[in-house]
Amino acid sequence: HKEIKELQEEIRRLAEEKNAVILAHYYQRPEVQDIAHFVGDSLELSRKASQTDADIIVFCGVRFMCETAKIVNPTKKVLHPNPESGCPMADMIKAEDVLRLREKYPDAEVVAYVNTTAEVKAVSDVCVTSANAIKVVSKLESKRIIFIPDQALGNWVKKHIPDKEFIIWQGFCPPHFEFTAREVLKLKEIYPDAKVAVHPECHPKVIEIADFVGSTSQIINYATTCDSNRVIVITEVGLLHTLKKKNPNKEYIFPQSMNYCGTVYCCTMKAITLPKVYETLLKETNEVVLPEDIIQRARKPIERMLELS
Ligand code: 13P
Ligand code: SF4
């Protein structure tokens, strides 16, 4: 514990010395969340990254989040403490796939979940996050929507906007697809007074059971303030850290998993560790570099999202 505390203090000291801001997603390890100047969902983190006047952004999240920070604030040095930390869902579609879909459906608008590579964003019309997808898509004029890459979020949006036609890419989030309706219903049987909060990356059958569906921040807000003292939380277990901090008086139930950790776990998010953050900031390594034309083209759909939400 002493080592962790010392490392945390040293990272914060370095951040101050170098005028760096540390941003972290809620799925990060608790000890990493604790050194961040700001912890948030994808939308809040991209807003923070676009507004910061720090010289360096240390982004504790997966690659697409770091790329988004670079795209919205390209003059900053964006550092990714572990360049191998990617999002498997983001890698389930390539720019060529999007171009092929565009050719097939020339009248459609391409809606890209932010969980995509910068190259994919560069050939998309608008981005969305789990916090604003319904709002953004409902404001689009096109009757036909190509939704990439998450089938679960795509189906959730489609359900709310029945007057549009959706072509949905069949990508998915491996950790969120681990949750089953059967286990959530079982938990509801054990805790009949509990409310169920679900991330929209979950399978539609799991979403059907939910009392609340939203982004990580929205789930935290709902779970800590709803009228039930027990909440079944169906998303990555990293949320527990903030839930306990924000409202320790409630009980938060996360389903058990068959994997070795016992809970559903995004291993690439957890691939960022305190020593890696320290090394990266100290040596200013692992800089996120993107070609200038990709930055220019990928910025448009992100800015459009920020305007529409
Ligand atoms: P949020 O935008 O809800 O934080 O989700 C990001 C993510 O990767 C969920 O798996
Ligand atoms: Fe990607 Fe899923 Fe991990 Fe989020 S939880 S970063 S969508 S793999």
| pLDDT tens-digit readout, 253-278 | 999 866 566 678 899 999 999 999 99
Ligand 1 centre and the CA of 26: distance in Å? 8
- Of 84, 99, 4, 17, the residue nearest 56 (C-alpha): 17
pLDDT value at residue 261: 62
Per-residue pLDDT tens digits for 86-130? 999 999 999 999 999 999 999 999 999 999 999 999 999 999 999
Query: Which residues span the domain enclosing 189?
Result: 176-253
pLDDT value at residue 263: 75
pLDDT value at residue 260: 60
3-state secondary structure of 110: strand
* CA-proximal residue: ligand 1, atom 4 (nearest): 41
* CA-proximal residue: ligand 1, atom 7 (nearest): 42
Whether 237 lines ligand 1, by a CB cut-off of 6 Å, is: no
Ligand 1 centre and the CA of 131: distance in Å? 9
Whether 41 lines ligand 1, by a CB cut-off of 6 Å, is: yes
Q: 155 and 300: one domain?
A: yes
As a whole number, the mean pLDDT across the chain is: 96
pLDDT value at residue 256: 81
What average pLDDT does range 244-248 have in this prediction?
A: 97
Per-residue pLDDT tens digits for 33-70? 999 999 999 999 999 999 999 999 999 999 999 999 99
Q: 165 and 180: one domain?
A: no
Query: Does residue 260 lie within any of the structural domains?
Result: no
Ligand positioned closest to the Cα atom of 132: 1
Query: Using an 8 Å Cβ cutoff, are 257 and 234 in contact?
Result: no
Per-residue pLDDT tens digits for 193-235? 999 999 999 999 999 999 999 999 999 999 999 999 999 999 9
Q: 300 and 160: one domain?
A: yes
Query: Using an 8 Å Cβ cutoff, are 161 and 144 in contact?
Result: no
- β-bridge mates for residue 287, sequence order: 79
pLDDT at residue 153 above 70? yes
pLDDT value at residue 257: 65
The ipTM is: 0.98
pLDDT value at residue 264: 82
Q: 95 and 168: one domain?
A: yes
Whether 65 lines ligand 2, by a CB cut-off of 6 Å, is: no
The span from the CA of 22 to the CA of 45, in Å, is: 10
3-state secondary structure of 254: coil
Query: Using an 8 Å Cβ cutoff, are 86 and 268 in contact?
Result: yes
Domain count of the fold of the chain: 3
Q: Looking at ligand 2, which atom is closest to the CA of residue 173?
A: 2
Whether 242 lines ligand 1, by a CB cut-off of 6 Å, is: no
Q: 78 and 95: one domain?
A: no
Q: 117 and 154: one domain?
A: yes
Sign of the Cα torsion 126, 305, 50, 41 reads negative
In terms of residues, how long is the chain? 309
Whether 216 lines ligand 1, by a CB cut-off of 6 Å, is: yes
Question: Is residue 59 left, alpha or beta, with left meaning phi > 0 and alpha meaning psi from -120 to 50?
Answer: beta
Query: Does residue 262 lie within any of the structural domains?
Result: no
pLDDT value at residue 92: 98
Q: 97 and 81: one domain?
A: no
Q: 139 and 151: one domain?
A: yes
Ligand 2 centre and the CA of 41: distance in Å? 12
Q: 216 and 273: one domain?
A: no
CA 41 to chain centre: 6
CATH of the domain at 164: 3.40.50.10800
